[in-house]
A and B are shown apart, each in its own frame.
Chain A
């Protein structure tokens, strides 16, 4: 176990960055593939951005989880990164939500890598779990995030901002869905 605050700060730092990245990924996912080709950014750009951002987020997520396990300040075992709640001693509920988020993200990413083999319907059913993953990550942040719990203003702002952006994108997408296909230019 490595002592000292470096890992701890890395863990907290990556936590917030990933929250932003996953939020951006989710927003891009909501906006990227709804509707049809047309003005503005080409659809394949938005979609590529969505994919690449997701992969970057997952890489940072590995660092976030790695630093949490390696750090000696709190007792988090490596298997608690994959199995939520059972036997964990450090804020089991909130850590468990983080683990849940990781599990869901892993399932979503892995199925996306073999999308063609899965078939569209199965792939999409699993992909919708991304929303649940994002929500779990948000809850995890609110419950376990040191900075959030310390009630520092900026942390609350970041979380609120993420929530607002996703909600806004969802509203936009639903509004677009209400317009029947073929009547859009």
Chain B
């Protein structure tokens, strides 16, 4: 199994931000958090749903699924379960780690507010297997808070696919931390058949911010179409995590040292984009998705190597990270890695098509997307 091209970090450089990452100087403790944001107000499910809908709050795990829809699905059902996905299986990402070590109570306030609104009595937190500072920070934060409901902490495997939604649900059910086929959405039937609201840590933090600051405060940043901010990881040996309001020009975000070089947007399952195209755009989920370079979980990588070589290395790593159970992924990804390595364009295209949509999770799909974007980058340049 090859090492990831970027090692997971549990000590990123976290920059002060306007909302999520505001007031870092006070430290991660509960007292400082309360001094800054006040007590957590109670909020009814209907009010919360309405606000989430108006503010178009979307998941920050990579799929950008509307959180309001998930919450609405769960809200109508009995005995819901809430899951905080802090596993951050993408090694190049460090935003969830940043939240866990600097702003854990924002995440937990989001969970508590939602749990109180839903009447949920069970919360699960999935922690990363290879970022020990995250584990200790979250446990410390949990210990500070009053115990209002059953909260169970789990540790994910150190595997790329361990953070996938169904894999996380398998983990909390006590089974191997591997993706399984999802016949119904987990919001309908998830953990033990119960409606399960599973979301990324930053998504929960965004909900917490909304409840603490109110709709007006939340919408003070960002654009009319995409209110609020999002966390971005600029990958490096020591990654930088920064909070960026939607609509900010990428030119203002990207390091000058990256100028002129292609950037991989969206992490290991992301898309290559030329510097010119990226620098001309803004931080926007919709615009970037329309351009074919989705923001994903906000990870940006600008490697020293040329994109072709880096992609070959990446696909080799991703092939090794397959859970090894779904045939097309188990056989197709190593073959794809070989094809990318030898530059066999025809075979690469064929294999990318063969692995897409034929697995229990989107691991092969994301890898295929990465490979296709390399081809588009070549064509564009």
Does B331 count as interface, using CB distance less than 8 angstroms? Answer: yes
Tell me what chain A mostly uses at the interface: helix, strand, loop, or mixed.
Answer: loop
Q: How far is the CA of A182 from the CA of B334 in the complex (A)?
A: 12
Tell me what chain B mostly uses at the interface: helix, strand, loop, or mixed.
Answer: helix
A182: chain B residues at CB < 8 Å are 327, 330-331
B331: chain A residues at CB < 8 Å are 182
Q: State how many residues of chain A have any CB contact under 8 Å with chain B.
A: 1
B327: chain A residues at CB < 8 Å are 182
Interface residue ranges of A143-185 to B (CB < 8 Å) = 182
Chain A: minimal CB distance from B135 (Å) = 33
Residue of B nearest to A182 (CB): B331
Q: How far is the CA of A182 from the CA of B327 in the complex (A)?
A: 9
Which range holds the interface residue count of chain B? under 10
Chain A: minimal CB distance from B340 (Å) = 20
Chain B: minimal CB distance from A88 (Å) = 45
Bitwise, A90-124 to B at CB < 8 A (1) or not (0) is 00000000000000000000000000000000000
Chain A: minimal CB distance from B189 (Å) = 16
B330: chain A residues at CB < 8 Å are 182
Q: How far is the CA of A182 from the CA of B322 in the complex (A)?
A: 16
Residue of A nearest to B330 (CB): A182
Chain B: minimal CB distance from A119 (Å) = 13
Bitwise, A122-134 to B at CB < 8 A (1) or not (0) is 0000000000000
Q: How far is the CA of A182 from the CA of B331 in the complex (A)?
A: 8
Q: How far is the CA of A14 from the CA of B373 in the complex (A)?
A: 68
Chain A: minimal CB distance from B183 (Å) = 13
Residue of B nearest to A181 (CB): B327
Residue of A nearest to B331 (CB): A182
Interface residue ranges of B310-363 to A (CB < 8 Å) = 327, 330-331
Q: How far is the CA of A41 from the CA of B374 in the complex (A)?
A: 44
Bitwise, A24-64 to B at CB < 8 A (1) or not (0) is 00000000000000000000000000000000000000000
Q: How far is the CA of A73 from the CA of B44 in the complex (A)?
A: 81
Q: How far is the CA of A138 from the CA of B316 in the complex (A)?
A: 53
Q: How far is the CA of A182 from the CA of B330 in the complex (A)?
A: 10
Q: How far is the CA of A117 from the CA of B330 in the complex (A)?
A: 29
Chain A: minimal CB distance from B344 (Å) = 20
Chain B: minimal CB distance from A120 (Å) = 12
Chain A: minimal CB distance from B145 (Å) = 40
Q: How far is the CA of A42 from the CA of B306 in the complex (A)?
A: 49
Chain A: minimal CB distance from B308 (Å) = 28
Q: How far is the CA of A156 from the CA of B330 in the complex (A)?
A: 49
Q: How far is the CA of A73 from the CA of B331 in the complex (A)?
A: 63
Chain B: minimal CB distance from A13 (Å) = 48
Q: How far is the CA of A87 from the CA of B137 in the complex (A)?
A: 68
Chain A: minimal CB distance from B181 (Å) = 12
Chain A: minimal CB distance from B235 (Å) = 34
Chain B: minimal CB distance from A45 (Å) = 23
Chain A: minimal CB distance from B323 (Å) = 15
Q: How far is the CA of A182 from the CA of B325 in the complex (A)?
A: 12
Chain A: minimal CB distance from B360 (Å) = 15
Chain B: minimal CB distance from A36 (Å) = 10
Chain A: minimal CB distance from B320 (Å) = 16
A/B interface sample: 3 pairs, CB < 8 A: A182-B327, A182-B330, A182-B331
Binding site for B on A (CB under 8 A): 182
Counting from the closest, the 3 A-B pairs by CB-CB distance are A182-B331, A182-B330, A182-B327
Binding site for A on B (CB under 8 A): 327, 330-331
